[in-house]
Structures are given as structure tokens and as C-alpha cells.
């Protein structure tokens, strides 16, 4: 079911739509679907579009200074922080979202909460002997967080199960409120799911991809692979939010 949920949205993302238009053009021997596919390919590949879409998600929960964060019972850091482990290496292979980890550790060391929670992410296609949370726990201890302050949830496979796992921890330990740390564009759906699971959370978004004060320049109209990825990320995240907001 997890793999199905990951693959199905591809049909409705720009990649799937472009492929569909090209196949339709070849099948019907029409020129306009091909032109439409090229236009969509160009539009989704330029920073102007990508930054606007990701920026809209990020502005839902703007960045806040660490010093202004209200204290809570725990800091919860969502998964997706580590890339696949390299053979023969004992070092963490950090993904782009490493700021989630750095900020979670910083919040606890600053005394904003007495517990640091990592989630037990372990996808079926990943060759991990332990969950991501266990690996992050070792890294946090190396950064100076006392071992007794770190908790790892049970195994999870998406944001919804992360929310439920944290909700169970809150009930077991009697927590009232947590600080939720995740990437800026991921925060709207995360807050929705955590609050729906009964978790009172303080959003602490990190890892922002856009600068809202930056103006438009000519380079924003030049196609880039990174822009394509951001566009698809924003659209996928939008689909996820709508799904959980209205269909679940």
C-alpha cells in the first residue's frame, strides 16, 4: 500500500501529465498535445513557477527565531533526514533536510524542551538495519544531547503514522505540548495531521527553499532540473494536504 501511494500520484504530477500528452499526440497524430506538453515542461522547469509554488507553502508558517519559541514538553523532529547509508562508512549520510536535525538538537540544548523525539522511519525499499530515528539518536548524543533525553518512536512510514506515534507517546508520558520541527513546505500538512491526531504542537519550520524578499530576474525564466523538482514537490504536497484535509 505504501509503494502504491508513492507511485499513484505520479500520474497527476507534471511528469505523468507530460508523458500522457506526448503519448496522446502520437496516438491521435495531433500537434497541439505535443505543444501543450512542451509548454508544461517549460513552465514547471523554471524557478519563477517553482519558487512561487514552494513559497506559497512556506509562507503558511514563516520562520521564527529560536529564542522566541515557547517551552514545551518535547521537540519532535520529523524523518527524511538521512540518505541511504554508504557501504563501509560509519558516518551519517545527510540529506538536504539535515536542518531538521540541527534545529531539533539546538532547541533541546537551548532548554526549550526536556525531550528530543526522533521518529522510527524505515521504508521497505531502504536497506537499513535500524530505523532512521536510532541513527539520529546516536548523532544527537555525539552532539551533546544526554541519552536519557532522547526518544525514538515505533516504526513509521509516513507523516500520518508519525503523528499517531507521537500522540501515543504524549498519552503515555503525560505531555501537553510539543515543538514540531520539519521543512517549511512540509509544515502545513504536518500540522494538520498532528493536530488531527490530538497533538498540541508549536510549529518550528526550517530548511526554507525560497526568499520571499527576492525580486524576479531573467535567470528565473531559465529551465533548471532543480526547479522541476521543487515544482513537483509543491504539487505533491498540495495533493497530500487536500487528501488529508477533505478525504480522510
- Whether residue 18 is found in the same domain as residue 129: no
- Strand order across the 116-121 sheet: 150-156, 116-121, 74-77, 178-183, 201-206
In a domain? residue 237:
yes
Give 123's pLDDT tier (boundaries 50, 70, 90): low
Q: How confident is the model at residue 64 (pLDDT cuts 50, 70, 90)?
A: very high
Task: Tell me what the mean pLDDT of segment 52-74 comes to.
Answer: 96
Q: What is the pLDDT of residue 54?
A: 97
39 and 112 in one domain? no
| Res. 127 pLDDT band, cuts 50 70 90 | low
The closest of 218, 211, 175, 208 to 194, measured between CA atoms, is: 175
- Number of domains forming the structure of the chain: 2
Of 84-88, 128-132, 152-156, 157-161, the poorest mean pLDDT is in: 84-88
239 shares a domain with 129: no
Whole-number Å distance between alpha carbons of 182 and 204: 7
Is 38 found in the same domain as 150?
A: no
Average pLDDT over residues 35-52: 97
- Please check whether residue 152 is in contact with residue 134, taking contact to mean a CB–CB distance below 8 angstroms: yes
Looking at the structure, do residues 117 and 47 belong to the same domain, yes or no?
no
Average pLDDT over residues 173-179: 96
Sign of the torsion angle spanned by Cα atoms 48, 65, 106, 205: negative
Point out the least confidently predicted range of 35-39, 107-111, 118-122, 226-230: 118-122
- Residue pair 120/132 in contact (Cβ under 8 Å)? The answer is yes
- pTM value? 0.91
Report the pLDDT averaged over residues 154-171: 94
49 and 84 belong to one structural domain:
no
Same domain membership, residue 74 and residue 47: no
Quick check: is 46 in a domain? yes
Strands 178-183 and 116-121: unpaired
Phi/psi at 202 (nearest 5 deg)? -100, 115
* Average confidence score pLDDT of the chain: 92
Q: Of the candidates 214, 192, 216, which has an alpha carbon nearest to the alpha carbon of residue 203?
A: 192
Asked if pLDDT for residue 129 goes beyond 90, the answer is no
- Chain segment 65-122, per-residue pLDDT in tens: 999 999 999 999 999 999 877 766 678 889 999 999 999 999 999 999 999 999 998 7
In a domain, 51, yes or no: yes
Does residue 85 sit in the same domain as residue 187? Answer: yes
Q: Look at residue 13 and tell me whether its pLDDT is greater than 70.
A: yes
Question: Residue 78 belongs to what domain range?
Answer: 66-206
Residues 156 and 37 grouped into a single domain: no
Q: Please indicate, yes or no, whether residues 227 and 167 belong to a single structural domain of this protein.
A: no
CATH classification of the domain holding 177: 3.40.50.620
- Do the domain assignments include residue 143? yes
Same domain, 137 and 174: yes
Do 48 and 28 fall within a single domain? yes
Amino acid at each position: 500500500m505504501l509503494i502504491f501511494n508513492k507511485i499513484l500520484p505520479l500520474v497527476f504530477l507534471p511528469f505523468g501529465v507530460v508523458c500522457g500528452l506526448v503519448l496522446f499526440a502520437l496516438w491521435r497524430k495531433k500537434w497541439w498535445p505535443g505543444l501543450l506538453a512542451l509548454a508544461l515542461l517549460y513552465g514547471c522547469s523554471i524557478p519563477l513557477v517553482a519558487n512561487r509554488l514552494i513559497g506559497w507553502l512556506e509562507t503558511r508558517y514563516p520562520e521564527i527565531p529560536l529564542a522566541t519559541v515557547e517551552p514545551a514538553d518535547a521537540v519532535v523532529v520529523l524523518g527524511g533526514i538521512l540518505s541511504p547509508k554508504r557501504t563501509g562508512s560509519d558516518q551519517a549520510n545527510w540529506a538536504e533536510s539535515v536542518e531538521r536535525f540541527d534545529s531539533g538538537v539546538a532547541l533541546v540544548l537551548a532548554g526549550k524542551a526536556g525531550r528530543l523525539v526522533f521518529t522510527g522511519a524505515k521504508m521497505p525499499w531502504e536497506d537499513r538495519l535500524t530505523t532512521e530515528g536510532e541513527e539520529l539518536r546516536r548523532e544527537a548524543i555525539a552532539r551533546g544531547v544526554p541519552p536519557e533525553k532522547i526518544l525514538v518512536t515505533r516504526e513509521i512510514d509516513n507523516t500520518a503514522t508519525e503523528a499517531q506515534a507521537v500522540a501515543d507517546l504524549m498519552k503515555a508520558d503525560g505531555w501537553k505540548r510539543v515543538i514540531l520541527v520539519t521543512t517549511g513546505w512540509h509544515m502545513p500538512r504536518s500540522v494538520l495531521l498532528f493536530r488531527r491526531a490530538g497533538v498540541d504542537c508549536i510549529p518550528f519550520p526550517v530548511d526554507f527553499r525560497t526568499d520571499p524578499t527576492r525580486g524576479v530576474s531573467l535567470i528565473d525564466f531559465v529551465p533548471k532540473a532543480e526547479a522541476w523538482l521543487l515544482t513537483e514537490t509543491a504539487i505533491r504536497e498540495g495533493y497530500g494536504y487536500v487528501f488529508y484535509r477533505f478525504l480522510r
